[in-house]
Amino acid sequence: MSEDQKSQLTDITRATASIEGKLSEVLGRLSDVEGWLNFLEDAAAEVKANPAATAAEVESLRRRLDEMEDRSLRKDALAFITETVPALLGLDFPRGFQVERAHRSLGPRKLNRPDLTHEPVLVWKHFDDLAQDP
């Protein structure tokens, strides 16, 4: 084998070794990509199995929650009124103080005062109890 051939063979050997190194690096990266792809496929399958709530569902649940909170506030307001008003007025109602209707007033909720947490309430009451003798 001549020197020229040996030199070419050495160059080819170096090029092959370089290509093998680069191929090994590409295979390592490809393995990493496959791992990430498997992870993403598993995550996508989990999302499909347990989908997140849609905006419409969230809005529906928010409306239901608001309605429940309003009902709770009305019940609390009625209980407060039926217990407090007779005591404040010093009147005895033979059949108990019965509120026909109670409404929040049309004024602003907190009247621009952050320290005021209650709302003004309008009460509609039949006063038949006061006119009748037991």
What residue segments make up the domains of the chain, in order of their start? 1-52, 71-131
- Compute the distance between CA of residue 21 and CA of residue 15 in angstroms, rounded to an integer: 10
pTM of the model: 0.38
What percent of the chain has pLDDT above 90?
A: 30
Burial 66-96 (b: 16+ CB within 10 A, else e): eeeeeeeeeeebbeebbeeeeeeeeeebeee
The neighbouring-strand residues paired with 82 are none
- Compute the distance between CA of residue 99 and CA of residue 82 in angstroms, rounded to an integer: 7
What percent of the chain has pLDDT above 70?
A: 75
In the chain, which ranges are continuous DSSP H helix? Answer: 3-49, 55-89, 128-131
